[in-house]
Amino acid sequence: MASDLISIITPAYNCGEFMAETIESVMKQSYQNWEMIIVDDCSTDQTREVAAEYSKQDQRIKYYLLEKNAGAAVSRTRAIELAAGTYIAFLDSDDLWTEEKLERQLFFMKENGYSFTCTSYEQIDESGSPLHKTMKSKHKTNYNGVLLSCPVGNSTVMYDVTKLGKFVVPNIRKRNDDALWLQILKKEKYIYGMPDVLMKYRVRRNSISRNKLDLIKYHWYLYRSIEKLSLFRSAFHICYWGFLKVCKIK
């Protein structure tokens, strides 16, 4: 298993305050055959300095700077293009992994013959303190399940490149991670979930996805322009998403 290189995809934009802790959570992994590809979307804070310094310390950490600000989707796609691994894992620049995340998830995939997986995760605040909220992954979710509620934490996902290939992340500013899972689920029937909590998702006050009402237009674009759903089906999913997220029923 140790012969399998895992490429870690990390888009970054103005996360200098959290970047060091994120990188160190990768460096502490019990599974050490990885490369971390950080693509900086023209940050204006200390992101560049922090990432570049770690890349000098560890050659597995590779830092790239985009020529112009283009959004997380473009950064993710560029990192995927550069990836050399047998597996690709996703880690946002402010989230954290537990020390056995890669080892346990890779074993889970190999033991069961899964190509596309995610894990459960917990939420932390900006200072790293637990918010005592755990998001449990489902045993398996198909395309329609992701459309309905997307029970997938971005920084928990890993997939087998040899079986599924590489993907271009749909170029929308928000919800491009959901759009990517939908692309993969057109090729792979299910994403399989581990019950283990292996990621810490940082809830930030100024997060790009905090304004749920503003997200409606991005969901609409995803459903109509990218997934080519009918007006009726798109409206249904918007209403269902609003019921779960805005009303906080889930």
Confidence of residue 175 (pLDDT cuts 50, 70, 90): confident
34-53 pLDDT, tens digit per residue, is 999 999 999 999 999 999 99
Residue 150 pLDDT exceeds 80? no
Which one has a higher pLDDT value, 148 or 183? 183
pLDDT at 250: 40
3-state secondary structure of 97: strand
Give the residue from 174, 205, 250, 193 showing the smallest Cα distance to 94. 205
* d(C-alpha 87, C-alpha 39), whole Å: 18
What's CA 137's distance to the chain center, in Å?
A: 14
The stretch 62-68 carries a mean pLDDT of: 96
Residue 197 pLDDT exceeds 60? yes
Q: Please return the burial class of 200, using the count of CB atoms within 10 Å of its CB with bins 0-12, 13-18 and 19+.
A: buried
* d(C-alpha 240, C-alpha 226), whole Å: 19
**13 token code pair:** 């934009």
The pTM of this model reads: 0.92
126-146 pLDDT, tens digit per residue, is 999 999 999 999 999 999 999
Q: DSSP states of 183-242 as a string?
A: HHTTTSS-EEEEEEEEEEEE--TT-TT--HHHHHHHHHHIIIIIS---HHHHHHHHHHHH
pLDDT at 244: 62
The stretch 62-67 carries a mean pLDDT of: 97
Residue 208 pLDDT exceeds 50? no
pLDDT at 35: 98
Fold of 6-206: Spore Coat Polysaccharide Biosynthesis Protein SpsA; Chain A (3.90.550)
* Cβ atoms of 6 and 106 closer than 8 Å: yes
In the chain, domain spans: 6-206, 211-250
